[in-house]
Structure 1
Amino acid sequence: MTAAAQLASGKGYKDENFPVASALLKREHRAPVMAFYRFARAADDVADNETASADEKLALLGAMRATIAGTHDADAPSVALRETMAGHDLSAQHAFDLLTAFERDCSIDRYADWPALIDYCRYSAMPVGRYVLDVHGEDPATWAANDALCAALQVINHLQDCGKDYQAIGRVYLPLDVLAAHGAEVSDLGKPVATPQLRAALRDLVARTEILLVRSAGFARAIRDRRLAIEVAIIHRLARDLTLRLKTHDPLSQRVHHGKAEMFGLATLAAAAQLVKGRG
C-alpha cells in the first residue's frame, strides 16, 4: 500500500486562501493548530490525488483514522495530532469528522442541492474552526457562527476551483439543482470560459455564501481571546472580498485568489477595525 506521504501535494499553510496559525495567535496555541493543519493537509492530499484508486485512498484514510483512535501508528501526522490532542485534553471528534469528509470525497463526486453541500461542509470545514476554538478554550456557544463562516470559506474554495476540480479529478461540488435552475451543464466546467448559464449559477451560489457571511458577522466579537478574534476578523474580511470578486470574475479563465500584497492590505484594515471594536 502506498504511504500517505507519497501522495503529498507539496502544498503548505502559506499556500492557503486564509491565514493558518498566523503570528497573531499566542505561541502556545500555534503548535496545536499546526498539528491539526498538517493532519488535514495530509488527508486532503490523499483524497484529491489524481492517480491513486478510491480503494487505496480509503485504506490510507482508514489508517489515519485508526492512528487517531490509538489502534495504529501508521501515519506520522496522525500520531503527532493524537499526541497533541492528548497533551492539551482536546477531543478527537473534530479529526474523525474531518476524515469523514475526505472519505466521502473518495466515493461521492456530485452534490444534489445546497443542503447536501452544507452537510459536506459540516465535516470538511466546520470541525477545523471548532478545533481551533477548543484549543483556545472558547465557549461552544461560538460554534454556530464558526460553522457559518467555515462553510462560507469552503464554498468559496469550491467556487474558485470549480473548473480545476472537474477537469483534474471529475469532482463537482456545485449543487446540481442550482446548475439546472440556470440552464448550466456539468460539462460547462470543462470549458475555457464560463458560459452565461454557469456564471448565473455561480452568482446564485455567491449570494447564498454571502448569507453565511452575514450569519457569522458577529463571530469575532464573541471570541474572548483577543488575538484569535483579530484573526477571525481578518478571515471574514478576506472572505467578503472574495465573494465580491467571484461576482465579477470568471473562475475558469480569471484569477479569483488574493495576491500576497493584497491579502496583507485587507488583513491590516480588518485587524485595525477589530482593534477599534475591541476598545468599544
Structure 2
Amino acid sequence: MEKLSPNIQFPAPFSWADFKQIDVENTFDLDSAYKICQSIANNHYENFPIASFFIPKHLRKHIYSIYAFARYADDIADEKSNSDQATRVAILENLEYLIINSDDENTKHYPIILALNETIKQMNLPVDTISRLLTAFKMDIYFSQPNTFDDLMNYCEYSANPIGELILRLFNEYNEETATLSNKITSALQLINFWQDISIDLKNNRRYIPKSLMDQYLLQNIPNFDNVHTNIENPAKIEEFGQFNALFEYLFSETENLLNDGSKLINKLNNKKLQFEIKLIVNSGRRILAKEKSRKYHLLFRRPKLNIIDYIRILLKSILWKY
C-alpha cells in the first residue's frame, strides 16, 4: 500500500466508551496511548486472561497495545459499524498503511496505532504478523460460510494464530516448534468462541460450521436453521436436534484434541510466568468447552458464560497443573 485511501475517516472504536470524541484534531503521547490501550483491554469481557498479574509488568503495555488494536480492527469490521463493506475495508487498509509506515504524521492522531507501532519497534515484531490479523477482519467483512473444516482452520491462521505468535515473540520464546503448538491453542480457542457464540451468530446470519459437515449430518438444507433460536419455547418441534448433538460432539472432539495437543507448549517454554499464563488460558478454554459439551444443542439458544466459581476452578487447576 503506497498511501492512505482518500476521504476515509478512522472511527473511534465502538467499544471505546470513554474516548468516542477523539478525532484528527487530537494528538497523543506514548504514555497516554498505552493507558488508553490498557483501558480497552481491561474493560472488555473475555473468557481468557489478558495481560494478567502473572505477565511481567514491562510486557503488559505491549500486550495491551496488541489486544486494543485487535479490538479496534474488529469494531471496524463489525456489521454494527453502519459503514458499507468497501468503506470498512478501506479503513482497515489505512490501518495497515499506518503500521507499515509508522513515521507517517497521521499516527499521532490514533493512540492505538501509536502504541502498537512503538511495541513493534521496541520488541522487534514482524509487521506481516499484524497484517495477517487485518486479513482476518477483511474476511469477516466479506463473510461466507466455510466449505470445509480446513477452510475454518485457515481462517484461524489469520484471526487467532498471530496473537499467540506475537506473545511468544514478546517473551523471546518464538521458534518453529513453539509456534506450531501455540497455533493449536489459539485455533482451539477461536473454535471454542465460535461454538460459544453460535446462538448470536445465527441471529446475524453467520454460520461458522462448515457446509461439508452440515451436509454430512444432514443439516445443511434445514429451512429454519438460521432462525432456530426462535424455537426456544418449543424446541421439541425441531426433529433435527439428534443430528445437532452428533455434529456438536464431533466439533467438540476436534476442538479438544487441538487444545490438548497445543498444551504441550507449556513444557517447551523457559519463562515460568508465561508457562503459568498459558496454563490459565488452556484451563479457561477447557472450562468453557466443558460447558458447551453439557449444553449440546442448547447452544443454539443460549450463550454459556464463565462465572466466579469457574474462575476459581481455573486458577486452582492451573496451580495444581500436572504435565
**TM-score computed with the length of structure 2 as normaliser:** 0.79
Instruction: Indicate whether 1:257 and 2:305 are aligned.
Output: yes
Paired with 1:200 and 1:2, the residues of 2 have a C-alpha distance of: 47
Paired with 2:280 and 2:116, the residues of 1 have a C-alpha distance of: 26
> Where does residue 163 of structure 2 map in the other structure?
128
Counterpart among 61, 77, 98 of residue 47 in structure 1: 77
Instruction: Indicate whether 1:56 and 2:87 are aligned.
Output: yes
Paired with 1:241 and 1:248, the residues of 2 have a C-alpha distance of: 11
> Where does residue 227 of structure 1 map in the other structure?
273
> Where does residue 160 of structure 1 map in the other structure?
196
Q: Give, as a single letter, the amino acid of the residue that structure 2 aligns with 1:211.
A: N
Q: Give, as a single letter, the amino acid of the residue that structure 2 aligns with 1:166.
A: L
Paired with 1:58 and 1:82, the residues of 2 have a C-alpha distance of: 21
> Where does residue 124 of structure 2 map in the other structure?
89
- Decide which moves more: 115-124 or 185-194: 185-194
- Decide which moves more: 231-240 or 122-131: 231-240
Q: CA deviation at 1:12?
A: 4.5
- Residues 13 and 76 in structure 2, CA contact (< 8 A), matched pair in contact too: no
Deviation per CA, 1:206-254, whole angstroms, max 9, x where unpaired? 1110110121121112111111110101111121222222122122323
Q: CA deviation at 1:178?
A: 1.0
Q: 1:252 to 1:2 in 2, by over 3 A?
A: farther
- Residues 46 and 61 in structure 1, CA contact (< 8 A), matched pair in contact too: yes
Paired with 1:93 and 1:57, the residues of 2 have a C-alpha distance of: 20
Paired with 1:5 and 1:230, the residues of 2 have a C-alpha distance of: 34
Paired with 1:139 and 1:99, the residues of 2 have a C-alpha distance of: 21
Paired with 1:30 and 1:263, the residues of 2 have a C-alpha distance of: 24
Over aligned residue pairs, what C-alpha RMSD do you find?
A: 2.1
Q: Gaps (5+ residues) in structure 2? A: 1-7, 18-39
> Where does residue 119 of structure 1 map in the other structure?
154
- Residues 2 and 56 in structure 1, CA contact (< 8 A), matched pair in contact too: no
Counterpart among 200, 206, 216 of residue 246 in structure 2: 200
Counterpart among 10, 35, 49 of residue 3 in structure 1: 10
Instruction: Indicate whether 1:107 and 2:137 are aligned.
Output: no
Q: CA deviation at 1:9?
A: 6.6
Counterpart among 34, 37, 43 of residue 67 in structure 2: 37
Paired with 2:310 and 2:99, the residues of 1 have a C-alpha distance of: 34
Q: Which has the larger radius of gyration?
A: 2
Paired with 1:246 and 1:9, the residues of 2 have a C-alpha distance of: 30
Q: Give, as a single letter, the amino acid of the residue that structure 1 aligns with 2:225.
A: D
> Where does residue 67 of structure 1 map in the other structure?
98
Q: Secondary structure at the match of 1:180?
A: helix
> Where does residue 178 of structure 2 map in the other structure?
142
How many residues in Structure 1 have an aligned counterpart in Structure 2?
274
Deviation per CA, 1:56-86, whole angstroms, max 9, x where unpaired? 1101111111111016535431232012110
Q: CA deviation at 1:21?
A: 0.7
Percent of pairs with identical residues: 25
Instruction: Indicate whether 1:181 and 2:181 are aligned.
Output: no
- Decide which moves more: 115-124 or 212-221: 212-221
> Where does residue 3 of structure 2 map in the other structure?
none
**TM-score computed with the length of structure 1 as normaliser:** 0.90
> Where does residue 316 of structure 2 map in the other structure?
269
Alignment map for 1:15-30 (pairs within 5 Å) = 15-30=45-60
- Residues 152 and 210 in structure 2, CA contact (< 8 A), matched pair in contact too: yes
- Residues 47 and 106 in structure 1, CA contact (< 8 A), matched pair in contact too: yes
Q: Secondary structure at the match of 2:250?
A: helix
- Decide which moves more: 247-256 or 126-135: 247-256
Q: Secondary structure at the match of 2:126?
A: coil
Paired with 2:226 and 2:248, the residues of 1 have a C-alpha distance of: 11
Alignment map for 1:199-218 (pairs within 5 Å) = 199-218=245-264
Q: Secondary structure at the match of 2:55?
A: coil
Q: CA deviation at 1:7?
A: 3.6
Paired with 2:13 and 2:312, the residues of 1 have a C-alpha distance of: 37
- Residues 198 and 303 in structure 2, CA contact (< 8 A), matched pair in contact too: no
Q: Give, as a single letter, the amino acid of the residue that structure 2 aligns with 1:266.
A: R
Q: Gaps (5+ residues) in structure 1? A: none
- Decide which moves more: 137-146 or 111-120: 137-146
Paired with 2:45 and 2:163, the residues of 1 have a C-alpha distance of: 17
